[in-house]
A and B are shown apart, each in its own frame.
Chain A
Amino acid sequence: MKHIRSHVLVCGGTGCASSGSKKVMESLKQELELKGLESEVKIVETGCHGFCEMGPIMIIYPEGTFYCRVQPEDVPEIVDVHIYKGRIVNRLLYKEPISHEMIPNFEHMQFYKKQMRRILTNCGHINPEIIEEYIAVGGYAALGKALTEMKPEEVVAEVKKSGLRGRGGAGFPTGLKWEFARNAPGTQKYVVCNADEGDPGAFMDRSVLEGDPHRVLEGMAICGYAMGASEGYVYCRAEYPLAIKRLHIAIGQAMDMGLLGDNIFGSNFSFHIKVKEGAGAFVCGEETALLASIEGKRGTPRPRPPFPAISGLWGKPTNINNVETFANVPNVIVDGAEAYASVGTPKSKGTKVFALTGKINNTGLAEVPMGISMREIIYEIGGGIPDGKKFKAVQIGGPSGGCLPENMLDLQIDYESLIAAGAMMGSGGLVVMDETTCMVDVARFFLNFTQKESCGKCTPCREGTMRMLEILTRITEGQGREGDIELLESLAKNIKAASLCGLGQTAPNPVLSTLRYFRHEYEAHIRDKKCPAGACTKLSGYQITELCKGCGLCKKACPVEAITGEIKGQHVINQEKCIKCGACMAKCPFKAIIKG
């Protein structure tokens, strides 16, 4: 038997691939051959580690050394120093943002230490294109157990008991949803996996599909068995080509091994999965729009009832869960509902993956137990706010979510408390904002997104989001009027109450939550024509203070000749000409130019 003394795991997820991991892998292969090490060192292309900002990521086992931002030029040194000589390449290690400590082993990194990786456990550790690697870490044991030891209704009961709730946003109890579909009359039923992840910045579903696709397929098959469906669809956005490719590979391998297809594990249960590529509409993440899209129709939502559990795909009973929800299912079955539910809060069980972005040191995917505080995520896992800036707010739940201020940082994260605070779990996007972020502008940003993604079917969402966006835009441009806040509130309330689907019903949330916690910023824009954060360009300008020495550098830097002044004399900015590019401030050696 061949002896492999070292495994080099290189991330092949979308994030690391775009920062150059493919080239790293090639050069690693060449270098190992050059040194004659190819037979003792194995390169493994893995899925996402969730720390994409640090990519390309390389982990070398058995030590578990975590190298980040590895470039092809670094490879000879890694091979020579680490693999050949057995020493660590210090300069490629991860440095903690606060303590500046260098951490060789990823398990000791703050970013990973506080996480509880149940869903992402295989991501970054197995080769997602080889089914044996999934099986080796316990894959398909849950399906085997369900099919050979459990009756379908027992599976439903187990999922119900686990307290698992939908990870796609609304948090509906998964087991209950399965039960509805199971009890719905009809012989032809469908399982649909919603992989139309569309929230800006959220990529947990993509990472799971790229890094551990079999986990999702296994969850779907268990669901099919539980509810009596023999066919499943994965509705995956076409912008996830790698996920789609790996899904196809995974389905093919599972079919070959008899883990999908007819008479799985020799039972009477058959289950086939097809992949349907979505065409890029955000609203197709809404379940009825998604079903319409699979059917080849225009992807617009329809009123419920009837719910998909009664009349879904092609009018048949259909159960729809999102990727992360299905990825939880094997754990529920293998470990049992009790073990699963041992983590979390009374009403929100298990773990949740969040996508950390914005003004935070460690951006990436973090899987944490339900009930963790926002503070722990942002300051311990996320490493706090960069550049010594002050935390201002965290936007949670994507475009349908809300912005929570500093005094909410100790809020326990679960479905109910987030809703009460004016945000929502959503798919788990967490955008951190510091003092330089304008909250009116943030609301405008999200409204701009939902307005563009409105399907146009119902009046309040189609017309109302446009009007809200117009009002927010004029406020950020200094054209806000008295009464605009009340108009926004009135619109927000009625759009929420009157819209057809979840998109419209939640679209005003960013406005409502910023009004709730940052109303004074709106008022400053409207009444004082000032942006307290200095972010709205039309409301902020540059001034040259008395610190000016008259060096003339700012005058030279100004692209529109807005600055006048004699050498050694005080310089002045003509505010009418100024385009607020900030070039002068960047050039001034005396910090004489201020923004405000």
Chain B
Amino acid sequence: MDMVNVTIDGHKLQVPKSATVLTAAKTGGINVPSLCYHPELRPEGACRVCLVEVEGAKTLVASCVYPVNEGMIVHTNTPAVREARKTVVELLLANHPQDCLSCQRNTNCELQTMAADLGIRKVRFNGVKKNLPLDANNPALVRDQNKCILCGRCIKACSDRQGVDVYSFAKRGFDTIVTPAFEVGLEKSPCTYCGQCASVCPTAAIVEKDDTQSVWNALSDPTKHVIVQTAPATRVALGEALGMKSGSVVTGKMVASLRRIGFNKVFDTDFTADLTIMEEGHELLHRLQNGGTLPMITSCSPGWVNFIELQYPDLLPHLSTAKSPQQMFGALSKTYYAEKTGIDPMDIVSVSIMPCTAKKAEAVRPEFSTRGLQDVDFVLTTRELARMIKEAGIDFATVSAEEYDAPFGIGTGAGVIFGSSGGVMEAALRTVVEVVTGKELECIDFKEVRGLAGIKEAAVPVGDLTVKVAVANTLSNARIMMEKIRAGEADYQFIEIMACPGGCIGGGGQPVPVCEETRLNRIAAIYECDQSSQLRKSHENPAVKELYDTWLGKPLGEKSHHLLHTHYKEQIRC
């Protein structure tokens, strides 16, 4: 790598030629304060917080976009720099609701932290402020433009990372806003509700719709039997929002906390993840053996499902008809579980804890209701659960681990890896290969489909034939796959697609902030859960076996067909 010599605050550093002043300073242990800059998104140099003095430059420069060059001398902490930075943040505060204490992002807001770090004690300006209505007509996300600091991260997350391009800047000057085209609400835009915008937003300008109060209400209603399911990826991220380091596995603590909060039963979405593998795996075999539409594509990521329904409706026949684990759980909770426990389905409240904002929208889809009852009543993101745990006064650090309730609390390692990109594929392969060959796999780790790469491919021998599979994460990569299919170049039988980077561990409902390191730690934790599981194949899940034996019959059977499968159709929004 080409290196150059720079001097930053008196420290002589050798840094890559491609570095910016900001990244160069970081290598020297100097953290230049920044706000619109995000290490994973294209820098813009717009907020002007990361200003530094470069000797010879006419004005202060934005270090996040300013390239280094040989012999450059930089000062990051001069009186002029500090004053300009403070003025910039003060100007942002002057046009920001001063409601930190009651804000959803209180104590986890980059603007708040910046104001504190820079020692701003007074805002000298008290003029006009933005006064714009909330965008809250969708089940997943709430946008409060009054809290928007126009950093543009959401725009880039949506366009560069997700390739969906919902947001752009509109109007100009003081009236500048970030908005979907024609200033419609998200529900009228091609938004998939993936929530990646919310996970990069430095303030509370884009947040998950908070459903905690509805859940508290259900919990305090003595006539209701409130059950909860926890998605695989929540157990490796929840700890971050409660003071633990990323990659901490907090399954047992989460279960214990949910019980203390007052849920009657605490179940695991891993169970229905295993069930999904049974249904989806057999669906794949059915398609392979009967000339069905191939490649078949997974359908458990609701952001992805929205994406294909909105943008590639012609390819919907490729989508597996199996419901997502959340919705399989929901369907069973008000049928099988109600029957088994003798509780009137009307009295069952089914809650799910998800790493995902799109799951909120999935739960309210009309096809996911049985006899007029919504299968999953409330969806909380990992972030919302963390807030409930705090509100309930639970000391998460010291709470002792507890086990899930039976029967829906029993899951396998195959179920838990659903939380990471490639996990559904790996879980499916573990089952499909053994079902087809009737023999036990020697190695059940399909490492080529793991990890953060956007698109992963593998060729797996399944009995006599070789199945070519692909795994894509983020919607930009989903689009690449779709274009390949349209062009007839997708030489695969099975594709897993997840809307978020790294899969559900990087979901839009997970604790923030998140970066590549966080995602890698969460992935490692997921596979740690898998490794430590007694059972690591979905078809070996005893509760799943029992469900089929006593109630469902067989995978793809009639009851499964009614309860566990669905059909997706084109969405038209305007």
Residues of A within 8 A of B (CB): 281, 283, 298, 300, 302-303, 305, 451-460, 462-467, 470, 487, 490-491, 493-500, 505
Asked if B48 and A500 make an inter-chain contact with CB atoms under 8 angstroms apart, the answer reads yes
CB-based contact B172/A455 at 8 Å: yes
B73 at the interface (CB under 8 A from A): no
Are the C-beta atoms of B48 and A460 separated by less than 8 Å? yes
Contact call A457/B46, Cβ cutoff below 8 A: yes
List the A side residues contacting B92 at CB < 8 Å.
Answer: 459, 463
The answer to the question of B59 belonging to the interface, with a C-beta cut-off of 8 Å to chain A, is: yes
Chain A neighbourhood of B66, CB < 8 A: 303, 305
Spot the interface stretch: B120-128, B334-342, B360-368, B433-441: B120-128
CA distance A455 to B169 in the complex (A): 10
Given known contacts A460-B91, A470-B128, A494 and B84 CB-to-CB distance under 8 angstroms: yes
- With contact pairs A453-B173, A498-B48 given, residues A463 and B91 touching in the complex (Cβ less than 8 Å): yes
Q: Is B72 an interface residue (CB 8 A)?
A: no
Q: List chain B residues, Cβ under 8 A from A462.
A: 150, 173-174, 176
Across-interface contacts of A500 in B (CB, < 8 A) = 45-46, 48, 62
- Given A462-B174, A466-B174, A470-B127, verify A456-B91 contact (CB < 8 Å): no
Q: How far is the CB of A296 from chain B (nearest CB, A)?
A: 13
B547 CB within 8 Å of chain A: no
A-B contacts, 23 listed (Cβ < 8 Å) = A451-B174, A456-B150, A456-B171, A457-B176, A458-B46, A459-B47, A459-B92, A462-B174, A463-B91, A467-B91, A470-B125, A470-B127, A470-B128, A491-B87, A495-B87, A497-B59, A497-B84, A498-B48, A498-B59, A499-B48, A499-B59, A500-B45, A505-B59
In the complex, the answer to whether A460 meets B87 with C-beta atoms within 8 Å is: yes
Question: B-side interface residues toward A, CB under 8 Å?
Answer: 44-49, 51, 59-62, 65-67, 80, 83-85, 87-88, 91-92, 94-95, 124-125, 127-128, 149-150, 168-169, 171-176
From known contacts A460-B88, A460-B91, A464-B91, infer whether A498 and B174 are also in contact, taking CB-CB under 8 Å: no
Residue of B nearest to A450 (CB): B173
* B51 in contact with A281 (CB, 8 Å): no
Partner of A454, one of B65, B84, B172: B172
Cross-chain contact of B174 among A281, A463, A491, A499 (Cβ < 8 A): A463
In-complex Cβ contact of A498 among B88, B94, B95 (8 A): B88
Q: List, in ascending order, chain A residues with CB within 8 A of B91's CB.
A: 459-460, 463-464, 467
* CB within 8 Å: A-B pair count: 112
Supposing A303-B65, A467-B91 touch, asked if A494 and B83 sit within 8 A by C-beta, the answer is yes
Chain A contacts for B45, CB-based, 8 A: 302-303, 458, 500
Chain B: which residue is nearest A453 at the CB level?
Answer: B173
Does the CB pair A281–B87 fall under 8 Å?
A: no
Interface centre among B62, B124, B128, by most A CB within 10 Å? Answer: B124
A498 to B85, CA, bound (A): 8
CB distance from A284 to the nearest CB of B (A): 11
- Nearest to B61 among chain A residues (CB) is A303
How far, in Å, is B48 (CB) from chain A's closest CB? 5
Please determine whether A496 and B59 come into contact, CB atoms closer than 8 angstroms: yes
In the docked arrangement, what's the CA distance between A498 and B89, Å? 12
The answer on a CB contact under 8 Å between A464 and B87 is yes
Interface centre among A462, A465, A495, A499 (most CB of B within 10 A): A462
Contacts of B59 in A (CB 8 A): 496-499, 505
CA distance A251 to B444 in the complex (A): 71
Nearest chain A CB to B549 CB, angstrom units: 61
CA–CA, A464 and B47, complex, Å: 12
CA distance A456 to B80 in the complex (A): 23
Distance A595 CA – B125 CA, assembled complex (angstroms) = 34
Q: Is the CB of A467 within 8 A of B94?
A: yes
Q: Is the CB of A459 within 8 A of B88?
A: yes
Verify B60–A497 contact, CB threshold 8 A: yes
Q: Given A460-B91, A466-B95, 9 more contacts at CB 8 Å?
A: A303-B45, A456-B174, A459-B47, A459-B49, A459-B92, A466-B128, A470-B128, A494-B87, A498-B87
Q: Known A455-B172, A459-B48; judge A305-B67 contact (CB<8 A).
A: yes
